[in-house]
Structure 1
Amino acid sequence: MSSSTQRSPLHFSAFVMNTTSHILQGLWRTDESEQINFNSVDHWIRLAQELERGRFDFIFFADVVGLYGDYDGGYRKYVESGLQIPSNDPSVIASAIAHSTSDIGIAITSSVLQEHPFNFARRISTLDHATNGRIAWNIVTSGLANAARNFGYDGLEEHDERYVWADEYTDVVYKLWEGSWDDGALLQDKKAGLHADPAKVHKIFHEGKRYRVEGPHLVAPSPQRTPVLFQAGSSGAGREFAARNAEAQFIISPGPDAAKLLVDDTRARLPQYGRDPHDLKFFQGLHFVIGSTEEEARRKEAELEENIDLDGMIAHLSGAIGVDFGSHPIDTPLGEIETDGVRSVLDWARESVHGREATIEDLGRVQGRNSRVVGTPEQIADELQRWRDAGVDGINVVNATIPGSYVEFIDHVVPVLQERGLAQKEYASGTARAKLFGSDRLPDRHPAARYRGAFAELSAGV
């Protein structure tokens, strides 16, 4: 029996955003692209149904609540290019997607700065009920200064302090989801006229640095109680946060070897929080260019390169790195760029260019090729086997066009993956968490579980 049939299949999620231009900028202008229909709920329903046909585990919505940093002195480029503006709230359409599908999980991104945890917990529990337990939450802290100012803050908190904030935020929602209602509290006994047992519904009386929340949670326990917990930060603080909280981590490593280092390092941190190293699954972001022959795939890649908005790619990086690249000529050597931001991105681009100094133009082109896999379905399956051998549990599939990128992947690559045991042929039953881990609820070893039954004494005599 081959190694590919001995291990569990890879999980797959579709990395999307309720906007026109998400990761690969400018491709909304191509004839086959339907990204400009992002305002239509039918657009997302049709995509989710297609993904379900391909047995994808999740439709994964990224999100922002502010503009990226200035490019060429302002935000004109973002608006002209539809670069994550307009950007709609993905949680609003989650129940509509669920109503039109039966199995696919719906992961939504929400930052700790954008909503008070009491209201967020209520909204997520409502969605988990409405979707029969198919909701996941991608926990983010927001690295956009404009986002902080949009919610009344003077600017961003220091990087590691944002994770301290996230720790308290998750603590509040865990108390509400896991501790406010005991199992069996909701009776709905018509004969006795007793809807719920007040002795099993508790206030939480949370008091912390940022929040004071009395409770109780206003929603009775949903199928999962706590949604599946995603997280995307790979810094030291981000890995610690993932080790404490996350069940799935979205990563963008440059190759399987780098992914293995990150996966092994993060998994080694889980036991200190009482968790099993495999309580956390890793989803690598990859983009696929598929051809019936390698020659066809390379031709399609060349066409893709021609259609990418290079200026848009550089603008997107400006916000991520904290440098206004638009104020420099495109042939400026990267060695002349000074930044307190993400130097690793600049260094990676410089290492990718040989025989000369890399420029801003090279940075944009390298970013467009980041995590790209080009080849036949069989070659792509070979590459995904290497990622799985490195410890990756799933793939977050980045699109060039919607729905085209996913239709092509489902039609041509998924059957090969299924044949090799690298993709599931049928869904498991139950909630999103049950499909990933075999249980509807968080395991007892997750830090949130300590709040189960923790508030009974506070509600004595209610």
Structure 2
Amino acid sequence: MAKQIRLNAFDVNAAMHNSHGLWKHPESERYRYKDLKYWVEMAQLLERGLFDALFLADVYGFYDIYRGSRDAALRDAIQAPINDPSLIIPTMAYATKHLSFAVTVPTTYEQPYAHARRMTTLDHLTNGRIGWNVVTSFLPSAARNFGLDKMISHDERYDIADEYLEVVYKLWEGSWEDEAVIRDAVRGIYTDPSKVHEIHHEGKHYRVPGPHLSEPSPQRTPVLYQAGASPRGRAFAAKHAECVFIDGHSYESMKFYVDDIRAQAVAYGRHPDDIKVFMALSTIVGTTAKEAEEKLRELTSLSSEEGPQAIYGGYTGIDLSKGDPNQILTFQATDHGQTVLARYTKMSPKEMTYGEVIESVKKIGGRAVVLTGSAEQVADQMQTWMEKTGIDGFNLGHLVTPGSLKEVIDLVVPILQERGVYKREYEQGTMREKLFGAGQSRLSERHPGASYRYK
């Protein structure tokens, strides 16, 4: 049987995501992001298309590196204004049966004790259809608004995240036994106190005695996503992640990331197939290749000049407005994200000038691969990426919302189904079971989090 392509929709609870300038498109409904009905319609559309999940990004600050100001980000709705992504999930879950939800929450500013309860609550309310995208946050404006003078250094953020995961594993896996809640009306006991345990965590960054506030949910620990591809990020993913989200720009670089993370996972005692890898992707689909090219020209005419440079500044710490267009951009270690800067410098097949980088990030779709063509051509290209890189699927952005998603669901998905590489119905069970198989609602015994289970 051919390997099945998995699809998540890549989104954010904001006025715009990564389609800079395309909020101006007459068919865009992004402005409705504040309306619960919008999100219900989105979830039901994705379930009709048999998507695995809605993957919700988030950010805790303004993109204000470019020209030393947040103005460009605000003018072009660069992930601002933005709302809390976790609060829309229960309503979408109520309106669907199978669609799962992965929500981004940073470890740098969120306390693990409160976060553990929030995720357990979401796992209960979705009946086990929740995942957590573990990030460490990267904007100086976020650090300032959480009371810090400057950002915590890149690698130290991952050190904090390692301990953070240890705390939540103890709360989710080890604090409450499965039989703690008995609801025995005869004896008058709702929860057996002897089966609820403190965790007694004393670490460098956190002191959490416990116990966890919530009773065990269907998955206990949510499905764990991770979205960093720096050397430290890949090591963190190999240890903790069950799903990894990576930007791709060539078959070779994507295959390197996939192979490296899975090889490191084996070193942690895990199996290579314990990790599913999703690649960022956008599509422009037409009934013909000519129609798709016409759509691309239309989208390009609406694209933003400064917006992409604003988000690049946030991701890298580099203000592209300060460089001469003919000057070579070189890699500089910053405490922002490192992968995006490396892509245009030390991982680029050739040296790139500031001007060339600006033109590259301004392209429709930004850093993500954009597949343009007829439905057959897009399906072909999706299969080629799968075969050449070893990925498991795509986090699918939508350039025009919801039109770009409808194009894929109505035109591309039937072709993939006919070829036997896309499901025709959902598997039953929790998010983790849908990803890894029936009966696997809980973390694998090979996962480091499993070692914290109460014995």
> Aligning the two structures, in what range does the TM-score lie when normalised by the shorter sequence?
over 0.9
Q: Which of these residues, 149, 156, 177, is aligned with residue 151 of structure 2?
A: 156
Does residue 1:393 correspond to 2:389, yes or no?
Answer: no
- 1:335 is matched by which residue type in structure 2? I
Q: 1:349 and 1:222, CA in 2 relative to 1: closer, same or farther beyond 3 A? A: closer
Give, in whole Å, the separation in 2 of the partners of 1:349 and 1:21: 29
Give, in whole Å, the separation in 1 of the partners of 2:408 and 2:13: 21
Give, in whole Å, the separation in 1 of the partners of 2:179 and 2:156: 38
- Return the offset for 1:22: 1.2
Aligned twin of 2:4: 9
- 1:365 is matched by which residue type in structure 2? K
- 1:243 is matched by which residue type in structure 2? A
CA deviations on 1:66-125 (whole Å, 9 max, x unpaired) are 112322221111112111111101001111111111110011000012321000000110
SS of 1:374 mapped into structure 2: strand
- Return the offset for 1:369: 6.6
Out of 107-116 and 369-378, give the one that drifted further.
369-378
Matches of residues 22-101 of structure 1 in structure 2 within 5 Å? 22-101=17-96
Q: Which of these residues, 138, 142, 158, is aligned with residue 137 of structure 2?
A: 142
Aligned twin of 2:302: 307
Aligned twin of 1:430: 429
CA deviations on 1:300-324 (whole Å, 9 max, x unpaired) are 1111111111221112112212122
Structure 1: gaps spanning 5 or more residues: 1-5, 455-462
RMSD over aligned CA atoms reads: 2.0
Give, in whole Å, the separation in 1 of the partners of 2:151 and 2:92: 33
Asked if the contact 2:331/2:345 (under 8 Å) is kept, the reply is: no
Give, in whole Å, the separation in 2 of the partners of 1:129 and 1:297: 42
Q: Which of these residues, 325, 350, 361, is aligned with residue 364 of structure 1?
A: 361
SS of 2:34 mapped into structure 1: coil
Structure 2: gaps spanning 5 or more residues: none
Asked if the contact 2:32/2:38 (under 8 Å) is kept, the reply is: yes
CA deviations on 1:144-199 (whole Å, 9 max, x unpaired) are 11111211122122211111110000110000000001121111111221112222
Q: 1:364 and 1:443, CA in 2 relative to 1: closer, same or farther beyond 3 A? A: closer
Q: 1:338 and 1:223, CA in 2 relative to 1: closer, same or farther beyond 3 A? A: closer
- 2:423 is matched by which residue type in structure 1? Q
Out of 186-195 and 138-147, give the one that drifted further.
186-195
CA deviations on 1:173-231 (whole Å, 9 max, x unpaired) are 00000000112111111122111222211000101111111111111000000000000
- Return the offset for 1:255: 2.3
TM-score with structure 2 setting the length: 0.94
Q: 1:176 and 1:422, CA in 2 relative to 1: closer, same or farther beyond 3 A? A: same
Aligned twin of 1:446: 447
- 2:397 is matched by which residue type in structure 1? V
Q: 1:428 and 1:334, CA in 2 relative to 1: closer, same or farther beyond 3 A? A: farther
- Return the offset for 1:353: 9.3
CA deviations on 1:224-269 (whole Å, 9 max, x unpaired) are 0000000001111111101110000001111223211111111001
Does residue 1:382 correspond to 2:377, yes or no?
Answer: no
- 2:344 is matched by which residue type in structure 1? L
Give, in whole Å, the separation in 1 of the partners of 2:430 and 2:6: 15
Matches of residues 161-176 of structure 1 in structure 2 within 5 Å? 161-176=156-171
TM-score with structure 1 setting the length: 0.92
Give, in whole Å, the separation in 2 of the partners of 1:338 and 1:283: 26
Asked if the contact 2:329/2:351 (under 8 Å) is kept, the reply is: no
- Return the offset for 1:337: 7.1
CA deviations on 1:266-304 (whole Å, 9 max, x unpaired) are 100112222111100000111001111111111111111
SS of 1:383 mapped into structure 2: helix
Give, in whole Å, the separation in 1 of the partners of 2:184 and 2:64: 56
Matches of residues 98-117 of structure 1 in structure 2 within 5 Å? 98-117=93-112
Q: 1:239 and 1:350, CA in 2 relative to 1: closer, same or farther beyond 3 A? A: closer
SS of 1:14 mapped into structure 2: strand
Q: Which of these residues, 335, 346, 371, is aligned with residue 328 of structure 2?
A: 335
- 1:388 is matched by which residue type in structure 2? M
Q: Which of these residues, 254, 269, 273, is aligned with residue 274 of structure 1?
A: 269
- Return the offset for 1:417: 0.9
Give, in whole Å, the separation in 2 of the partners of 1:20 and 1:115: 24
Aligned length: 446
Asked if the contact 2:54/2:100 (under 8 Å) is kept, the reply is: yes
